[in-house]
Structure 1
Amino acid sequence: MKNESELRNNIKQIRSRLGLSQQDLAQIAGVSRQAISGVESGQYAPSATVALRLAKALGCRVEDLFWLENENLSLEALPNQAVPVAYPFRLALVEVGGKLIAHPLLGEDAFRTEMIPADGEGWCESEDSPIQVKLWTAPENLNRTVAIAGCTPVLSLWAKVAEHWYPDLRVYWSFANSMEALHRLRRGEVHIAGVHLYDPETDSYNTSFVKEVLGDRPTVLINLGIWEEGLLVKPGNPQNLTTIAQLSDPDITIVNREIGSGSRQLLEYLLNKAKIPFDAIQGFSHIVRSHREVAHAVKNENIDAGVSTKALATAFGLDFVPLKKSRYDLAILQDYLPEKPVQQLLNILGHRRLHSQLIALGGYDTSETGEVVASIN
């Protein structure tokens, strides 16, 4: 029976992440391999029994595997401020006094800084002694928490979507550039490291850097998205920037990222390729430490350009000069993959609930989101 066009699933992604072939899954679920193939390709709509068996075999809920593509509900809401006309924008909704109010997620509001609730209070008697903790949260919450290190605000968005879908799940995101995130993963401080590092020698992303930092520890790379990286410039692009070579103009001032960040690595790679010395760039040593700070500097300071993503340009109302499409991956030690909260967080990667959010940001390609792009042993 032909599947209805709006029914979607991410069985293949979850199965592949768990290292299962179609035949393996078929045996565990008690169905035929042909049924697995048909469901994954959308040629076969499974019965309730088959759907439940597949969910049980993969350790998740039916809702994690299947969804209707066109099940969005249309509502009306009142804006809390003037909003852009003629192009879509992201927003948050809240009911106040019986009215649905829309809060546009634009500029600073798109990447709001929040005070993070604490799980307890700690103290140390000396530099070498362990931290003593007075716990304020329920102990079981600690086993429901996934820790991520990375630099893109999209990690926070992913976490919020997952926590909404799994109310018991907690995601703690700490900011770190790509190399620092890998070192935190190596030190056992986080479950997942977000990385976007290009290796010109192999013309590939992330794999060589994971091997360099993590050595022979078995690791998988799962794609979060392919994003457009380039120059953020002021609205209207008053300096008419179109290429990296123009940054050598002494009248052009940039802002740069710290060593270890993917954005700085991309800038240095392109400058070297164009045979432009770093000291020929005004502002090369002016360092900020996040994508958001790059956008803020270009928008509000006497800065002409900085390397970041199209999503940041869109959120801050800046123009964008594309330079390269980059792959942002999630490095995860294979030892962590079976843990329930890690699986819950990863399940959302293949779901339209996250894909819709990423696409709306601008400059994100979700065609590989949730796919295992490399296994490193």
Structure 2
Amino acid sequence: MGIKHRAESVDHFRNELKNLRNARGLSQGELASRAGITRQAVSSIESNLYLPTTAVALRLAAALSCRVEELFSLIRPVERIQGTLVGRVPERDPSRPPVRVKVAQVGSRIVVRPVMGLGDVLSCAVGADGYLTEPASYSDGSTVEVMLSRDRQAVEQEISVAGCDPAIFLAGEHMRRRKDQTSVVGWTMGSMAALRSLQRGEVHVAGLHLFDPATGESNLPFVRRALKGSAYDVVTFATWEEGLLVRKGNPKSIRTAADLAEPTVTLLNREEGAGARLLLDRQLREAGIDPARVRGYDRIASSHFEVARAIAGQQADVGIGIRAAAQYFELDFVPLQSARYDLVVPKAYLTSHPTLAHLFETIVSRQFRNEIEALGGYDTTQTGTMHVLRG
């Protein structure tokens, strides 16, 4: 006995026949004549009384000079998923739009973050993976339900990176040029905060630029202390220039850390644990300057670009940052050191995540390296170099 197929419900399909017919300026009778079917058939299809056969759908598409998919398409069922919230969501008015969120599968966990955590500019440029529809207040670590707005497979391919290099978003763009549909989302935070986020299982990759004057090593001593064991790969993303960001023309003649103690100079600092903060503190110690003498030492910005934007807007005179941020905001730059920016990734994620290994293939490509070098202040000579974690 043959298999009996149930008729597909019209409720599962999006029907654009009437809209496209009207857009072409055709009556039902004129379209019917062109497609070789009756006017009654056109009316019934537009009214969702029945679905056209494949042959009829092809005739209608030909008559309207469009693709069948533009006329009829499947409506995906709304998928809901539960995950752990990173960050917090204040209680909102039920009449306001739902909260936009990014969703990533990190190991066995589903991690949910509000898109607004990307900052004022990126939150309007990066698409959401779904929405929190309940108008409740949620604290960090809460279990939340998300109504997905993307395919579940796309969410599973998303790569979350914690760190402070804005060029990580370019890696995602270059992956898509290679026909990879992965999204790479960079969550801005200082180096130590990025390591802690990786340790908590909130991201796939942590980026850091920390110099240990006791050993003369970059990053590895901090990774060894924060992440016990050797179950991690450490790969160089790039080497960049760090220094003092000052206004165009350097009107206050800021050349060294000693100049930061001048009473007319206002600093914008980075948070504790950030590589830029560690560099500043080391420079002040070497110059014999008590941080209490530095005006603005306790004013905190969360990224290199936030520091640069504030200086360009004359909200501060100086800050520590990378040359690329200075160039973007047309600031002057006083170099202090070259810093190696490394990416730390659990080895287990490289085998379990469907596209994470592609990220590391992408950053060593000549096309990607050319692009970040063009940003200014990036040296990709060591990009892709693996560093061994020895205890």
Shift of 1:125: 9.7
Relative distance call for 1:154 and 1:131 in structure 2 (3 A) is same
TM-score, scaled to structure 2 = 0.64
Q: Which amino acid aligns with 1:119?
A: D
Q: Which runs of 5+ in 2 are unaligned?
A: 1-119
Paired residue for 1:360, among 374, 379, 384?
A: 374
For residue 337 of structure 1, what is the aligned residue in structure 2? 350
Q: Quick check: 2:188–2:302 contact (8 Å CA) kept in 1?
A: no
For residue 279 of structure 1, what is the aligned residue in structure 2? 292
Q: Quick check: 1:218–1:376 contact (8 Å CA) kept in 2?
A: no
The structure whose Rg is larger is 2
Q: Quick check: 1:163–1:171 contact (8 Å CA) kept in 2?
A: no
Q: Which runs of 5+ in 1 are unaligned?
A: 1-110
Separation of aligned partners in 1, 2:158 and 2:349? 12
1:348 aligns with 2:362: yes
Aligned-residue identity in percent = 36
Separation of aligned partners in 1, 2:137 and 2:290? 49
Relative distance call for 1:173 and 1:166 in structure 2 (3 A) is farther
RMSD of aligned residue pairs (Cα, Å) = 2.1
Separation of aligned partners in 1, 2:179 and 2:225? 34
Q: Quick check: 1:166–1:344 contact (8 Å CA) kept in 2?
A: no
1:229 aligns with 2:238: no
Separation of aligned partners in 2, 1:242 and 1:220? 37
Paired residue for 2:122, among 97, 104, 113?
A: 113
Separation of aligned partners in 2, 1:373 and 1:148? 19
Q: Could you report, residue by residue, the CA deviation over 1:58-86 in whole angstroms, capped at 9, with x for unpaired residues?
A: xxxxxxxxxxxxxxxxxxxxxxxxxxxxx
Q: Quick check: 2:270–2:301 contact (8 Å CA) kept in 1?
A: yes
Q: SS of 1:254's equivalent?
A: coil
Question: Which deviates more from structure 2 when the two are superposed, residues 143-152 or residues 118-127?
Answer: 118-127
Q: Could you report, residue by residue, the CA deviation over 1:211-241 in whole angstroms, capped at 9, with x for unpaired residues?
A: 2221225111111111110001111111222
Q: How many residues align?
A: 267
Q: Quick check: 2:168–2:184 contact (8 Å CA) kept in 1?
A: no
Paired residue for 2:152, among 139, 149, 158?
A: 139
1:296 aligns with 2:309: yes
Q: Quick check: 1:219–1:376 contact (8 Å CA) kept in 2?
A: no
Shift of 1:276: 1.1
1:178 aligns with 2:203: no
Q: SS of 1:118's equivalent?
A: coil
Q: Which amino acid aligns with 1:274?
A: A
Relative distance call for 1:376 and 1:337 in structure 2 (3 A) is farther
Paired residue for 1:240, among 219, 234, 253?
A: 253
Q: Quick check: 1:228–1:363 contact (8 Å CA) kept in 2?
A: yes
Q: Could you report, residue by residue, the CA deviation over 1:256-296 in whole angstroms, capped at 9, with x for unpaired residues?
A: 11112111111001111222111111111111111111101
Q: Which amino acid aligns with 1:354?
A: F
Q: Quick check: 2:166–2:186 contact (8 Å CA) kept in 1?
A: no
Separation of aligned partners in 2, 1:125 and 1:284? 34
